Amino acid sequence: MTRLRAASLPWAAASAVVLLGLPARTVNAQARRPPASSDRRCQLAILNVDRQGVRTEPAPGVENLFAGGNVHVACRGQNIHMYADSIASYGGSVVQFISQGKRVRYRDSTTTLDADFGTYFKDADRFEAQGKVVHKDLKTGSSITGPRVDYFRPIKNTRPDLIVQGYNRPTIVYAVTDSLGKQAEPYTIVGNQVKVIGSDVIFAGGAVTFNRTDLQGKSDSLWLDSGARERGQLLGNASLAGGATDSFRLTSKDIDIKLRKRELTGLKARHKAVLVSKDVNLEADSIDVELVGRHAERTRAWGKQVRPQALSGDYRILGDSLLIETPGQRLQRVQAFGSAWAGFRPDSMPTSRRDWIAGEKVIALFIDRDSAGVKKTAISELQAEQQARSFYQMAPERPNEPGSINYTRAAKIVVKMRVTADSNTVESVNAEGAVDGVHLQPVVKRDSARADSVRGDTATRRPPSPRPGGPRWH
């Protein structure tokens, strides 16, 4: 065992380049000079030690080194620096950095890493940080905090991108810039384990959460690529919920994510997707949500196993596919395509009958109305095209009497609604092209004395049944 003074402390390693016999204050300037490149293997050199060190040789050609007091170690000829209260080097291949009050620090041109304890592994050029670790990406401003983080710096022809791995539920603060290049609110990602490749690719696994003040999500695992692909996925038991101003909740087995400059621009839920929002509840095999300014503008739904179904207020809308438009966070229009149908929900009708309209294409237009001081959406117009049909009940002419019933077929049908604060009834129906149908008037009870004087009184007769092959109604 040899005791060394700081002024003559060497860096001992079996296979590394060694700086021997150089005082810390006069160490080779090349070790301090910023490099032209930092993508080659690290050759460690001690730049400063305040107190004495100890060197041992447990086996021929194997040298261990222990030193303390404001230790500063650098990669020779590269802008890579490590700081600690003391170090312990074993054969030059494993170096431990120990904190005794001050934090262990790692610094290079793209990364800062602070921890209570650190270990450098020469073979993999890996720095393992433990104990209240804080990693920061200097390029993007993103960070990782947790009990343990492994950092792999990039090496030419070996590892083109840096890799950061976090364990024991670390937290990623994923930085975002707006269209003007200014820092916007970041996303916070938590998982049992996380992995970052370069500055753009993130993987997280195990009870993952994906949050911001206007968005809360969770899944079994997550990946994001904000670089060339600008895409990502929430995988397994996935869900995303919007904030209070644009409240929605999207759930599915998996949810695809679209990004632009790290900002969320679209979502696609696959496998029995369900969307619950303040205006529309939607079910389908898949649901695609287009976001503008962090708010849902257009929602599309498709399905064969789960036929798309939208519920809005008192209405139910079906089709092989649906398109829902909500500009400015306001429900404006719903379009249904392929065997489309729209009508009152059964529990909203006073009788077993419900008004409806159908066709190969159905369009429902919405407006806002005040009901008991609460703003709600209501259908103002219904349109059906291609083999259009409609069934509706007219308001009665007298109180406590039934209204008339109308069934219509045409190439196109337009139903305009009369919307008030507490009701939404049919105002007019316009049918175009090959129009036919049935209009049934209610039976009117007559005065009994007059009925007796009228021979063959028709008031009690049942209306004739429709001829075979004629229109049907429900």
For 320-382, give the DSSP string.
Answer: SEEEEE-GGG---EEEEEEEEEEEE-GGGSSSS---EEEEEEEEEEEEEEEETTEEEEEEEEE
Element (H, E) at 32: helix 29-32
pLDDT of residue 308: 96
> pLDDT at residue 237 above 90?
yes
| Rounded CA separation 304/300 (Å) | 14
Residue 28, token pair as written in the block: 């080779």
- Is the separation of the CB atoms in 122 and 158 below 8 Å? no
| Rounded CA separation 264/296 (Å) | 11
Least confident segment among 224-228, 344-348, 390-394, 451-455: 451-455
pLDDT band at 288 (very low <50, low <70, confident <90, very high): very high
In terms of C-beta density within 10 A (0-12 exposed, 13-18 middle, 19 or more buried), how is residue 398 classed?
Answer: exposed
- 319 φ, ψ (degrees, to nearest 5): 180, 170
| Rounded-to-10 torsion of CA 376, 379, 380, 386 | 160
* Nearest Cα residue to 331 out of 365, 283, 291, 373: 365
- 350 φ, ψ (degrees, to nearest 5): -70, -20
- Is the separation of the CB atoms in 13 and 89 below 8 Å? yes
> pLDDT at residue 276 above 80?
yes
In terms of C-beta density within 10 A (0-12 exposed, 13-18 middle, 19 or more buried), how is residue 336 classed?
Answer: buried
- Is the separation of the CB atoms in 131 and 158 below 8 Å? no
pLDDT of residue 312: 79
| Rounded CA separation 73/91 (Å) | 16
Q: Measure Cα distances from 405 to 42, 315, 356 in Å.
A: 86, 19, 12
* Nearest Cα residue to 270 out of 317, 310, 234: 234
- Is the separation of the CB atoms in 364 and 333 below 8 Å? yes
Domains and CATH numbers, the chain: 1-135 (2.60.450), 307-474 (2.60.450)
pLDDT band at 318 (very low <50, low <70, confident <90, very high): very high
pLDDT of residue 468: 38
> Looking at this protein, which amino acid is placed at residue 454?
V
| Rounded CA separation 158/123 (Å) | 12
This prediction has a pTM of 0.78
Q: What is the CA radius of gyration of the chain?
A: 36
What percent of the chain has pLDDT above 90?
47
Q: Express each pLDDT in 70-108 by its tens digit.
A: 999 999 889 999 999 999 999 888 999 998 888 999 999
pLDDT of residue 118: 96
Residues 6+ apart with CB under 8 A from 430: 413, 414, 416
pLDDT of residue 372: 65
Output the CA torsion sign for 294, 295, 301, 306: positive
Q: What length does the chain have?
A: 474
pLDDT band at 196 (very low <50, low <70, confident <90, very high): very high
- What is the average pLDDT across 30-49? 66
pLDDT of residue 395: 66
| DSSP 8-class letter at 33 | S
